[in-house]
Amino acid sequence: MINKKSIWFITLFTLILVLSVYYVTMPSELLLSNGSSYIKEENKKEVKEKEEVSAEVKESEILTSLRVESDEKVQKEIDKLKEVLTNEDATVEDKNKAYEKMKTLNSTRGDEEKIEKDLLNEFKIKSYVKIEGDQVRVVALQKEHDIKTANNIMRSVQKKFSKKMYISVQFKNS
């Protein structure tokens, strides 16, 4: 015999399924027209937040320029991937690949920021970290160019990854 919980579960599951099918089959023009103004407003807020943060942060021009250059490259790539996701002619496989690539880019950026924070906490060194595949590039601000410190930084960064990474450490004068 069917009880009330089963009926509610089936009803809600059916509702979710119908809404999911509707969302997937909905033309992407509707998604763009409704969400484009929201996305533009969010981008403006992010730009304002970045401007406020950059006014407060007092880092070396070297690290700032490296971060800006990296962020610009990542943003261009994300914009290209968004175009693929919103393109009506793109296949489902292409959209899935673009979505996975966006997730990877965001995850990589998060890892870079975490490593920078860990290096600051552990070694008291401001740094810039760039991860590309199995290569990690670390630019550290320090007056003394010490091999022992570079070795320790490399070991610390390698601990964050399960696979073997090729890590390079470059020192810049602060």
DSSP state of 133: T
Whether 42 shows a pLDDT value over 60: the answer reads no
**Is 23 inside any structural domain?**
no
Query: Has this prediction a pTM greater than 0.85?
Result: no
Tell me the angle at which helices 28-56 and 61-86 cross, rounded to the nearest 10 degrees.
170
Q: What is the pLDDT of residues 116-138, one digit of tens each?
A: 999 999 999 999 999 998 999 99
Whether 115 shows a pLDDT value over 60: the answer reads yes
**Is 130 inside any structural domain?**
yes
Q: CA 92 to CA 11: how far, in whole Å?
A: 29
CATH number for the domain spanning 131: value is 1.10.287.4300
Query: Which residues share a beta bridge with 130?
Result: 137
Above pLDDT 90, what percent of the chain? Answer: 41
Query: Which residues share a beta bridge with 141?
Result: 172
The maximal CA–CA distance of the chain, rounded, in angstroms, is 78
**Is 132 inside any structural domain?**
yes
pLDDT at residue 30, rounded to an integer: 57
Q: How many domains does the chain have?
A: 1
Whether 34 shows a pLDDT value over 60: the answer reads no
**Is 140 inside any structural domain?**
yes
Task: With beta carbons less than 8 A apart as the criterion, state whether 143 and 173 touch.
Answer: yes
Other beta carbons within 10 angstroms of residue 150's beta carbon come to 18
Q: CA 127 to CA 117: how far, in whole Å?
A: 9
Mean residue pLDDT of the chain comes to: 82
* Mean pLDDT across 72-96: 90
Element (H, E) at 140: strand 135-141
Whether 54 shows a pLDDT value over 50: the answer reads no
Distance of CA 127 to the CA centre of its chain: 18
Amino acid identity, residue 122? E
**Is 13 inside any structural domain?**
no
Identify the domain containing residue 108 by its residue range: 60-174
**Is 25 inside any structural domain?**
no
**Is 94 inside any structural domain?**
yes
Query: Which residues share a beta bridge with 171?
Result: 140
Q: CA 41 to CA 49: how far, in whole Å?
A: 12
Lowest mean pLDDT among 13-22, 50-59, 74-83, 101-110: 50-59
**Is 121 inside any structural domain?**
yes
